[in-house]
Structure 1
Amino acid sequence: MSTALAKGGMAMMGAGGVGLGGWALSSHLKQEEDAIKTILKSKGHKLTSELPEDKRQEAWTKVAKTYVLEVNEDLRIGTGNVSADNIRDWCVQNIESKGKGSLLKKAEKWCVVYSTFTDKLKTDNLELETDANTLNGKYSSLGDLQEEVNKIQISNGGSNSNGEKLKKWCETKSDASHSESTNSLYEKFKQHCSKANATSKGS
């Protein structure tokens, strides 16, 4: 009796497993049938191509700067230098395509509204520090970041050469995209590259 019950239970579990597996497969296939545009919106993303017209060019320019910093083989959408217009055209052309893995991954990276490190500074009432002399004074506290900053080439920084290197590093990283996975780097960026927002400081 108990053996029969056990076999019945295993059969039910097996059927349940098949059911869950079938649901997961069905969900995956459904996503592949949906347009990338639909999938991105269902994830809560806003599309850059649907921003008000007067804000789009600035947004695409921002994406192009981030692209230079963060593109890899999996995310590459063109050869050579990829401009803001190239990215815009790629997104417009592919946003209605079916949501298959590679295209979806690229669209989720380059075709949606996001925040850069500079944008995040603004929400923290901070702004980018651009004075090489001030940044020179922060150089000694860089810790393990110092090795990365030292790789930066500058033409002539004089007595503030370390400050000029850090300034260049900060300016480059200001275009990085902010997310949960990059927040650790953002915290270092904020510590070494920012100052109080002049507007909020004066108020």
Structure 2
Amino acid sequence: MRKALGVVDVVFAPSPLPEAARRAQALGFAHIDVPCDWQGDLALPVGDRMAHPSPRPHCSCPAPPEAEGMWERAVRAYRRTPGVRMEPWPGSIVGSVTAVKAMLDEVPGLRLLVDTGHVANWGEDPAELLPWADHVQLRQAARGVPQALEGDVDFAALFRRLDAMDYGGLLSVEYFDLPDMGWGLDDPVAHATALAEQLRPLLGACA
């Protein structure tokens, strides 16, 4: 399993991306995830590229919100977008493990960005989705609690599962202050740094 721990640029918002990368490097992160259209040099390697709201080839993209007809539109979009990684979240068309698996059945070859916080927030175990993951975003959360430092995600068990799978994808810490989505947080950088300090020894314990 890859043991390098990266971070998502939104942790450092509203800092410009070059500044965010420098701050992430100073905190010991190995890569930074960026918007899909970013071009330019950064202090850290780019991990993943994030597309929103529409899927882009070989990028990760949040699943669309629940709305009439949205499932069918998403299926068509995913089928015509090579290499896209779908990110499930609460309130999206794939806000449960059952719904995610149904979408995977509809779109052969579709891969996932699994956000541990989103899955824990809707009340299930993110480990159930790891077999389809090419990127795992790491955040502690609990049912009804989108971000925390103590919660329901068993990171030791999650890393053991990834290690047993010989997982070769990305690992990125993500916290965010997005009050318009109901996900406000006073200090995402402090939360991301604290979680990274908890996770690094667990990663080191994997074979």
* Higher-strand-fraction structure: 2
Q: Computing the radius of gyration over CA atoms, which structure comes out larger, 1 or 2?
A: 1
What's the TM-score, normalizing by structure 1? 0.23
Using the size of structure 2 for normalisation, the TM-score is 0.22
Q: Which structure shows the higher helix fraction?
A: 1
